[in-house]
A and B are shown apart, each in its own frame.
Chain A
Protein backbone atom coordinates (compact mmCIF):
# COMPACT_ATOMS: atom_id res chain seq x y z
CA UNK A 1 0.00 0.00 0.00
CA UNK A 2 1.32 3.38 -1.02
CA UNK A 3 2.05 5.95 1.66
CA UNK A 4 0.12 8.46 -0.43
CA UNK A 5 -3.19 6.68 0.12
CA UNK A 6 -4.89 7.38 3.42
CA UNK A 7 -7.33 4.99 5.10
CA UNK A 8 -10.48 6.73 6.36
CA UNK A 9 -13.39 5.41 8.44
CA UNK A 10 -16.85 6.58 9.50
CA UNK A 11 -15.14 8.27 12.46
CA UNK A 12 -12.47 10.13 10.52
CA UNK A 13 -14.44 10.88 7.34
CA UNK A 14 -15.61 14.34 8.32
CA UNK A 15 -12.21 15.54 9.49
CA UNK A 16 -10.15 13.97 6.72
CA UNK A 17 -12.49 14.34 3.73
CA UNK A 18 -15.24 16.89 4.29
CA UNK A 19 -12.98 19.36 6.10
CA UNK A 20 -9.95 18.73 3.91
CA UNK A 21 -8.27 21.74 2.33
CA UNK A 22 -7.46 19.69 -0.74
CA UNK A 23 -9.94 18.05 -3.12
CA UNK A 24 -10.19 14.46 -1.90
CA UNK A 25 -10.78 11.33 -3.94
CA UNK A 26 -12.37 8.56 -1.87
CA UNK A 27 -12.31 4.96 -3.11
CA UNK A 28 -15.21 3.07 -1.51
CA UNK A 29 -14.20 -0.59 -1.58
CA UNK A 30 -14.50 -3.99 0.08
CA UNK A 31 -12.37 -7.10 0.24
CA UNK A 32 -15.02 -9.22 -1.46
CA UNK A 33 -15.15 -7.05 -4.57
CA UNK A 34 -13.06 -8.09 -7.57
CA UNK A 35 -13.22 -4.86 -9.57
CA UNK A 36 -12.17 -3.01 -6.37
CA UNK A 37 -9.04 -5.12 -6.34
CA UNK A 38 -8.55 -4.48 -10.05
CA UNK A 39 -8.65 -0.71 -9.68
CA UNK A 40 -6.52 -0.52 -6.52
CA UNK A 41 -3.17 -0.03 -8.30
CA UNK A 42 -4.68 2.75 -10.42
CA UNK A 43 -5.82 4.57 -7.28
CA UNK A 44 -2.31 4.29 -5.85
CA UNK A 45 -0.75 5.62 -9.04
CA UNK A 46 -3.14 8.60 -8.97
CA UNK A 47 -2.23 9.31 -5.35
CA UNK A 48 1.41 9.50 -6.29
CA UNK A 49 0.78 11.52 -9.43
CA UNK A 50 -1.43 14.14 -7.72
CA UNK A 51 0.45 14.24 -4.41
CA UNK A 52 0.14 17.71 -2.87
CA UNK A 53 -2.82 18.60 -5.12
CA UNK A 54 -5.39 15.93 -4.37
CA UNK A 55 -5.74 13.81 -1.27
CA UNK A 56 -6.52 10.17 -2.02
CA UNK A 57 -8.29 8.01 0.55
CA UNK A 58 -9.84 4.55 0.78
CA UNK A 59 -12.90 3.67 2.82
CA UNK A 60 -13.76 0.04 3.52
CA UNK A 61 -17.56 -0.18 3.27
CA UNK A 62 -17.64 -3.30 5.46
CA UNK A 63 -15.89 -1.61 8.37
CA UNK A 64 -17.51 1.78 7.81
CA UNK A 65 -21.06 1.27 6.49
CA UNK A 66 -22.46 4.61 7.68
CA UNK A 67 -20.67 6.88 5.22
CA UNK A 68 -21.48 4.88 2.03
CA UNK A 69 -25.09 4.77 3.26
CA UNK A 70 -25.17 8.54 3.55
CA UNK A 71 -24.03 8.90 -0.05
CA UNK A 72 -26.45 6.27 -1.33
CA UNK A 73 -23.66 3.99 -2.49
CA UNK A 74 -24.99 0.60 -3.52
CA UNK A 75 -22.26 -0.48 -5.92
CA UNK A 76 -18.51 -0.70 -5.57
CA UNK A 77 -15.98 0.33 -6.49
CA UNK A 78 -17.37 3.84 -6.32
CA UNK A 79 -14.97 6.76 -6.40
CA UNK A 80 -16.18 10.12 -5.21
CA UNK A 81 -14.21 13.30 -5.62
CA UNK A 82 -15.04 15.70 -2.78
CA UNK A 83 -14.35 19.40 -3.06
CA UNK A 84 -14.99 21.69 -0.10
CA UNK A 85 -17.09 19.04 1.58
CA UNK A 86 -19.34 18.44 -1.41
CA UNK A 87 -19.55 15.73 -4.07
CA UNK A 88 -17.87 17.15 -7.17
CA UNK A 89 -17.88 13.94 -9.22
CA UNK A 90 -18.84 10.31 -8.73
CA UNK A 91 -17.66 7.34 -10.78
CA UNK A 92 -18.84 3.76 -10.40
CA UNK A 93 -16.95 0.72 -11.68
CA UNK A 94 -13.38 -0.16 -12.53
CA UNK A 95 -12.50 2.49 -15.07
CA UNK A 96 -9.18 3.40 -16.69
CA UNK A 97 -6.59 5.65 -15.17
CA UNK A 98 -6.97 8.24 -17.92
CA UNK A 99 -10.73 8.40 -17.24
CA UNK A 100 -10.03 9.21 -13.57
CA UNK A 101 -7.23 11.62 -14.45
CA UNK A 102 -9.62 13.60 -16.62
CA UNK A 103 -12.23 13.71 -13.86
CA UNK A 104 -9.64 15.00 -11.40
CA UNK A 105 -8.14 17.53 -13.82
CA UNK A 106 -11.62 18.92 -14.48
CA UNK A 107 -12.07 19.69 -10.80
CA UNK A 108 -8.58 21.14 -10.43
CA UNK A 109 -9.48 23.50 -13.28
Chain B
Protein backbone atom coordinates (compact mmCIF):
# COMPACT_ATOMS: atom_id res chain seq x y z
CA UNK B 1 0.00 0.00 0.00
CA UNK B 2 1.38 3.40 -0.90
CA UNK B 3 1.22 6.19 1.66
CA UNK B 4 -2.13 7.94 1.59
CA UNK B 5 -2.32 11.65 1.03
CA UNK B 6 -5.89 12.32 2.13
CA UNK B 7 -6.90 12.50 5.77
CA UNK B 8 -9.38 9.86 6.90
CA UNK B 9 -12.15 10.49 9.41
CA UNK B 10 -11.34 7.26 11.16
CA UNK B 11 -8.59 4.64 11.03
CA UNK B 12 -9.35 1.37 12.81
CA UNK B 13 -6.26 -0.66 13.68
CA UNK B 14 -6.98 -4.38 13.95
CA UNK B 15 -9.55 -6.69 12.38
CA UNK B 16 -10.82 -8.94 15.14
CA UNK B 17 -14.38 -8.73 16.51
CA UNK B 18 -13.78 -5.27 18.05
CA UNK B 19 -12.30 -3.75 14.90
CA UNK B 20 -14.78 -5.38 12.53
CA UNK B 21 -17.74 -4.22 14.64
CA UNK B 22 -16.27 -0.72 14.87
CA UNK B 23 -15.90 -0.87 11.08
CA UNK B 24 -19.45 -2.07 10.57
CA UNK B 25 -20.79 0.84 12.61
CA UNK B 26 -18.49 3.30 10.84
CA UNK B 27 -19.57 2.03 7.42
CA UNK B 28 -23.24 2.27 8.35
CA UNK B 29 -22.62 5.80 9.64
CA UNK B 30 -21.07 6.60 6.23
CA UNK B 31 -17.83 7.72 7.83
CA UNK B 32 -14.70 7.87 5.71
CA UNK B 33 -13.06 4.94 7.52
CA UNK B 34 -10.43 2.34 6.77
CA UNK B 35 -9.55 -0.77 8.77
CA UNK B 36 -5.91 -1.88 8.77
CA UNK B 37 -5.17 -5.53 9.58
CA UNK B 38 -1.78 -7.19 9.18
CA UNK B 39 -3.12 -10.76 8.90
CA UNK B 40 -6.46 -12.13 7.72
CA UNK B 41 -9.37 -10.51 9.61
CA UNK B 42 -10.68 -12.52 12.54
CA UNK B 43 -8.04 -12.25 15.23
CA UNK B 44 -8.01 -14.76 18.03
CA UNK B 45 -11.49 -15.99 17.03
CA UNK B 46 -9.76 -17.87 14.21
CA UNK B 47 -8.07 -20.08 16.82
CA UNK B 48 -11.36 -20.98 18.47
CA UNK B 49 -12.88 -24.31 17.51
CA UNK B 50 -16.46 -23.62 18.53
CA UNK B 51 -17.86 -20.37 19.91
CA UNK B 52 -20.70 -21.33 22.22
CA UNK B 53 -21.54 -18.00 23.80
CA UNK B 54 -22.22 -15.73 20.85
CA UNK B 55 -25.86 -14.81 21.57
CA UNK B 56 -28.29 -16.12 19.00
CA UNK B 57 -26.08 -18.90 17.69
CA UNK B 58 -27.81 -21.52 19.80
CA UNK B 59 -25.86 -24.46 18.39
CA UNK B 60 -22.55 -22.62 18.55
CA UNK B 61 -20.59 -21.31 15.60
CA UNK B 62 -17.08 -22.19 14.47
CA UNK B 63 -14.46 -19.50 14.99
CA UNK B 64 -13.72 -19.53 11.24
CA UNK B 65 -17.37 -19.02 10.33
CA UNK B 66 -17.94 -16.25 12.85
CA UNK B 67 -14.83 -14.36 11.70
CA UNK B 68 -15.91 -14.70 8.06
CA UNK B 69 -19.41 -13.52 8.82
CA UNK B 70 -18.20 -10.47 10.75
CA UNK B 71 -15.88 -9.54 7.90
CA UNK B 72 -18.59 -10.04 5.27
CA UNK B 73 -21.03 -8.02 7.36
CA UNK B 74 -18.70 -5.00 7.53
CA UNK B 75 -17.86 -5.29 3.82
CA UNK B 76 -21.55 -5.42 2.91
CA UNK B 77 -21.95 -1.86 4.21
CA UNK B 78 -18.87 -0.70 2.37
CA UNK B 79 -16.08 -0.83 4.94
CA UNK B 80 -12.64 -0.59 3.37
CA UNK B 81 -10.24 -3.24 4.77
CA UNK B 82 -6.55 -3.08 3.94
CA UNK B 83 -3.81 -5.65 4.55
CA UNK B 84 -1.39 -3.45 6.44
CA UNK B 85 0.80 -3.68 9.48
CA UNK B 86 0.91 -0.68 11.83
CA UNK B 87 4.15 0.18 13.60
CA UNK B 88 3.41 3.45 15.36
CA UNK B 89 0.96 6.20 16.24
CA UNK B 90 1.45 9.84 17.10
CA UNK B 91 -0.80 12.86 17.29
CA UNK B 92 -1.20 15.13 20.26
CA UNK B 93 -3.06 17.66 18.09
CA UNK B 94 -6.14 17.19 15.95
CA UNK B 95 -4.35 15.12 13.34
CA UNK B 96 -3.31 11.53 14.07
CA UNK B 97 -0.45 9.92 12.17
CA UNK B 98 -0.62 6.14 11.83
CA UNK B 99 2.79 4.79 10.88
CA UNK B 100 3.11 1.74 8.62
CA UNK B 101 6.12 0.15 6.89
CA UNK B 102 4.82 1.76 3.67
CA UNK B 103 4.28 5.29 4.93
CA UNK B 104 1.85 7.23 7.06
CA UNK B 105 -1.93 7.29 7.10
CA UNK B 106 -3.46 10.47 8.50
CA UNK B 107 -6.70 10.39 10.46
CA UNK B 108 -8.91 12.66 12.52
CA UNK B 109 -9.72 9.82 14.91
CA UNK B 110 -8.28 6.37 15.58
CA UNK B 111 -9.68 3.20 17.13
CA UNK B 112 -7.10 0.80 18.54
CA UNK B 113 -8.46 -2.73 18.24
CA UNK B 114 -5.09 -4.43 18.21
CA UNK B 115 -6.08 -7.41 20.31
CA UNK B 116 -4.00 -9.73 22.41
CA UNK B 117 -2.20 -13.00 22.07
CA UNK B 118 -1.64 -15.96 24.38
CA UNK B 119 0.61 -15.01 27.27
CA UNK B 120 3.86 -16.86 27.70
CA UNK B 121 4.84 -18.19 31.10
CA UNK B 122 8.51 -17.38 30.72
CA UNK B 123 9.62 -20.76 32.07
CA UNK B 124 13.08 -22.18 31.40
CA UNK B 125 12.88 -24.17 28.16
CA UNK B 126 9.64 -22.55 27.03
CA UNK B 127 10.97 -20.31 24.26
CA UNK B 128 13.50 -22.87 23.04
CA UNK B 129 10.88 -25.61 22.71
CA UNK B 130 8.11 -23.47 21.21
CA UNK B 131 6.88 -25.30 18.13
CA UNK B 132 8.70 -28.40 19.36
CA UNK B 133 6.12 -29.42 21.91
CA UNK B 134 5.34 -26.09 23.56
CA UNK B 135 2.11 -24.74 22.14
CA UNK B 136 -0.38 -21.96 22.84
CA UNK B 137 -3.11 -23.22 20.52
CA UNK B 138 -4.86 -26.55 21.05
CA UNK B 139 -7.02 -26.21 17.95
CA UNK B 140 -3.88 -25.67 15.83
CA UNK B 141 -1.58 -28.26 17.26
CA UNK B 142 -3.81 -30.86 18.95
CA UNK B 143 -3.71 -33.22 15.93
CA UNK B 144 0.08 -33.61 16.38
CA UNK B 145 -0.56 -35.36 19.71
CA UNK B 146 -2.68 -38.31 18.68
CA UNK B 147 -2.42 -41.03 21.39
CA UNK B 148 0.19 -39.05 23.28
CA UNK B 149 0.28 -37.60 26.78
CA UNK B 150 0.41 -33.85 27.26
CA UNK B 151 0.51 -31.31 30.04
CA UNK B 152 -1.80 -28.29 29.86
CA UNK B 153 -1.26 -25.32 32.14
CA UNK B 154 -4.01 -22.96 33.29
CA UNK B 155 -7.44 -22.90 34.88
CA UNK B 156 -9.53 -20.31 33.05
CA UNK B 157 -12.05 -20.60 30.22
CA UNK B 158 -9.45 -21.11 27.50
CA UNK B 159 -7.57 -23.75 29.49
CA UNK B 160 -10.78 -25.68 30.16
CA UNK B 161 -12.03 -25.44 26.55
CA UNK B 162 -8.71 -26.37 25.06
CA UNK B 163 -8.08 -29.25 27.48
CA UNK B 164 -11.41 -30.77 26.48
CA UNK B 165 -10.61 -30.18 22.79
CA UNK B 166 -7.24 -31.92 23.20
CA UNK B 167 -8.96 -35.09 24.44
CA UNK B 168 -10.03 -35.69 20.82
CA UNK B 169 -6.39 -36.51 20.10
CA UNK B 170 -4.26 -37.01 23.19
CA UNK B 171 -4.83 -40.08 25.32
CA UNK B 172 -4.14 -38.25 28.57
CA UNK B 173 -4.07 -34.60 29.61
CA UNK B 174 -2.58 -33.44 32.89
CA UNK B 175 -4.16 -30.07 33.60
CA UNK B 176 -1.86 -28.13 35.91
CA UNK B 177 -3.55 -25.45 37.96
CA UNK B 178 -2.19 -23.32 40.79
CA UNK B 179 -5.43 -23.22 42.74
CA UNK B 180 -7.74 -25.90 44.05
CA UNK B 181 -10.67 -24.92 41.86
CA UNK B 182 -11.02 -23.85 38.22
CA UNK B 183 -11.74 -20.23 37.37
CA UNK B 184 -13.41 -21.35 34.12
CA UNK B 185 -17.15 -20.85 33.62
CA UNK B 186 -19.21 -23.57 35.35
CA UNK B 187 -20.29 -25.31 32.17
CA UNK B 188 -16.67 -25.57 31.01
CA UNK B 189 -15.35 -26.69 34.40
CA UNK B 190 -18.00 -29.44 34.52
CA UNK B 191 -16.79 -30.82 31.19
CA UNK B 192 -13.20 -30.91 32.41
CA UNK B 193 -14.10 -32.72 35.60
CA UNK B 194 -16.33 -35.22 33.79
CA UNK B 195 -13.71 -36.12 31.18
CA UNK B 196 -11.86 -39.33 32.06
CA UNK B 197 -8.89 -38.35 29.85
CA UNK B 198 -8.21 -35.21 31.89
CA UNK B 199 -6.48 -35.41 35.25
CA UNK B 200 -6.38 -32.08 37.06
CA UNK B 201 -3.26 -31.54 39.14
CA UNK B 202 -4.71 -29.13 41.69
CA UNK B 203 -2.41 -26.68 43.50
CA UNK B 204 0.48 -27.45 41.18
CA UNK B 205 2.81 -25.03 39.44
CA UNK B 206 4.93 -25.57 36.35
CA UNK B 207 8.59 -24.70 36.93
CA UNK B 208 10.33 -25.65 33.69
CA UNK B 209 9.83 -27.34 30.37
CA UNK B 210 12.40 -30.00 29.66
CA UNK B 211 13.66 -31.92 26.66
CA UNK B 212 16.42 -32.14 24.08
CA UNK B 213 15.08 -30.75 20.80
CA UNK B 214 11.51 -31.62 21.82
CA UNK B 215 9.39 -31.58 24.94
CA UNK B 216 9.96 -34.65 27.08
CA UNK B 217 8.74 -33.57 30.52
CA UNK B 218 7.41 -30.67 32.54
CA UNK B 219 8.94 -29.92 35.94
CA UNK B 220 6.10 -29.45 38.43
CA UNK B 221 5.80 -28.42 42.03
CA UNK B 222 3.04 -29.45 44.39
CA UNK B 223 2.28 -26.17 46.17
CA UNK B 224 0.72 -27.93 49.16
CA UNK B 225 3.62 -30.29 49.91
CA UNK B 226 6.47 -28.42 48.22
CA UNK B 227 7.45 -31.62 46.41
CA UNK B 228 8.96 -31.24 42.91
CA UNK B 229 8.83 -33.86 40.17
CA UNK B 230 9.07 -34.34 36.40
CA UNK B 231 5.85 -35.19 34.64
CA UNK B 232 6.74 -36.97 31.38
CA UNK B 233 4.83 -35.46 28.42
CA UNK B 234 5.15 -35.05 24.66
CA UNK B 235 3.57 -31.62 24.71
CA UNK B 236 3.16 -28.63 26.98
CA UNK B 237 0.14 -26.46 26.21
CA UNK B 238 0.16 -23.06 27.90
CA UNK B 239 -3.21 -21.37 28.48
CA UNK B 240 -2.53 -18.68 31.07
CA UNK B 241 -4.35 -15.65 29.75
CA UNK B 242 -3.35 -13.09 27.18
CA UNK B 243 -0.86 -10.31 26.62
CA UNK B 244 -1.89 -7.22 24.62
CA UNK B 245 -0.36 -6.36 21.23
CA UNK B 246 0.37 -2.86 22.43
CA UNK B 247 4.16 -2.74 22.38
CA UNK B 248 4.18 -0.12 19.61
CA UNK B 249 1.84 2.11 21.63
CA UNK B 250 3.99 2.39 24.74
CA UNK B 251 4.25 6.02 25.80
CA UNK B 252 1.46 7.00 23.38
CA UNK B 253 -1.61 6.04 25.43
CA UNK B 254 -1.92 5.18 29.12
CA UNK B 255 -1.76 1.48 29.94
CA UNK B 256 -2.04 -0.67 33.02
CA UNK B 257 0.92 -2.60 34.38
CA UNK B 258 0.46 -5.44 31.91
CA UNK B 259 0.21 -3.12 28.90
CA UNK B 260 -3.56 -3.18 28.45
CA UNK B 261 -4.92 0.19 27.32
CA UNK B 262 -6.85 2.22 29.87
CA UNK B 263 -10.03 3.83 28.51
CA UNK B 264 -13.11 5.52 29.91
CA UNK B 265 -16.70 4.40 29.47
CA UNK B 266 -16.79 5.84 25.95
CA UNK B 267 -13.66 3.81 25.05
CA UNK B 268 -11.66 7.06 24.88
CA UNK B 269 -7.96 6.59 25.73
CA UNK B 270 -5.69 9.13 27.41
CA UNK B 271 -4.90 10.57 23.97
CA UNK B 272 -7.61 12.87 22.64
CA UNK B 273 -9.28 11.43 19.56
CA UNK B 274 -7.86 7.95 20.07
CA UNK B 275 -10.22 5.21 21.21
CA UNK B 276 -9.64 1.55 22.03
CA UNK B 277 -11.83 -1.55 21.93
CA UNK B 278 -11.61 -5.27 22.51
CA UNK B 279 -9.03 -7.49 24.14
CA UNK B 280 -6.30 -4.83 24.12
CA UNK B 281 -8.24 -2.83 26.74
CA UNK B 282 -7.76 -3.04 30.48
CA UNK B 283 -10.94 -4.65 31.81
CA UNK B 284 -12.62 -7.48 33.67
CA UNK B 285 -13.75 -9.80 30.88
CA UNK B 286 -12.27 -10.57 27.45
CA UNK B 287 -14.93 -12.16 25.27
CA UNK B 288 -16.08 -11.77 21.67
CA UNK B 289 -19.38 -10.24 22.72
CA UNK B 290 -17.62 -7.65 24.89
CA UNK B 291 -15.16 -6.79 22.10
CA UNK B 292 -18.01 -6.30 19.63
CA UNK B 293 -19.88 -4.09 22.09
CA UNK B 294 -16.84 -1.94 22.72
CA UNK B 295 -16.22 -1.63 18.97
CA UNK B 296 -19.70 -0.20 18.50
CA UNK B 297 -19.26 2.24 21.41
CA UNK B 298 -15.84 3.33 20.16
CA UNK B 299 -17.16 4.23 16.71
CA UNK B 300 -20.14 6.08 18.14
CA UNK B 301 -17.86 7.98 20.52
CA UNK B 302 -15.43 8.73 17.68
CA UNK B 303 -18.32 10.12 15.64
CA UNK B 304 -19.32 12.42 18.52
CA UNK B 305 -15.69 13.44 18.93
CA UNK B 306 -15.45 14.35 15.24
CA UNK B 307 -18.63 16.42 15.40
CA UNK B 308 -17.31 18.33 18.43
CA UNK B 309 -13.75 18.80 17.21
CA UNK B 310 -13.77 18.68 13.44
CA UNK B 311 -17.40 19.66 12.71
Contact = CB atoms under 8 A, between A and B. Distances in A.
Interface residues of A, number: 28
A104 to B, nearest CB: 14
Contacts of B85: 96-98
A34 B87 CA distance: 24
A87 B40 CA distance: 27
A94 B141 CA distance: 13
A78 B39 contact: no
Interface in B26-50: 38-40, 42, 45-48
B38 A76 contact: no
Interface string A71-99: 01111111000000000001011101110
Nearest to B140: A33
A39 B39 contact: yes
B139 interface: yes
A73 B131 contact: yes
B61 to A, nearest CB: 14
Interface string A30-48: 1011111111111001000
Contacts of A92: 130-131
Contact of B135 (A36, A42, A45, A75): A75
A38 B139 contact: no
B103 interface: no
Given A76-B140, A90-B131, A37 B101 contact: no
A44 to B, nearest CB: 10
Nearest to B40: A38
B143 interface: yes
B47 A35 contact: yes
Interface in B123-165: 130-137, 139-141, 143-145
B83 A34 contact: no
Contacts of B136: 93
Nearest to B68: A37
Contacts of B77: none
Nearest to B101: A98
Contact of A34 (B131, B135, B139): B139
A42 B131 contact: no
Contacts of A30: 143
Nearest to A101: B101
A94 B42 CA distance: 13
B140 A35 contact: yes
B214 A40 contact: no
B55 interface: no
A74 B141 contact: yes
Interface of B: 38-40, 42, 45-48, 63-64, 83, 85, 87, 101, 130-137, 139-141, 143-145, 213-214, 235
Interface of A: 30, 32-42, 45, 62, 72-78, 90, 92-94, 96-98
8 contacts: A34-B64, A39-B40, A41-B83, A73-B144, A74-B145, A75-B130, A75-B137, A94-B39
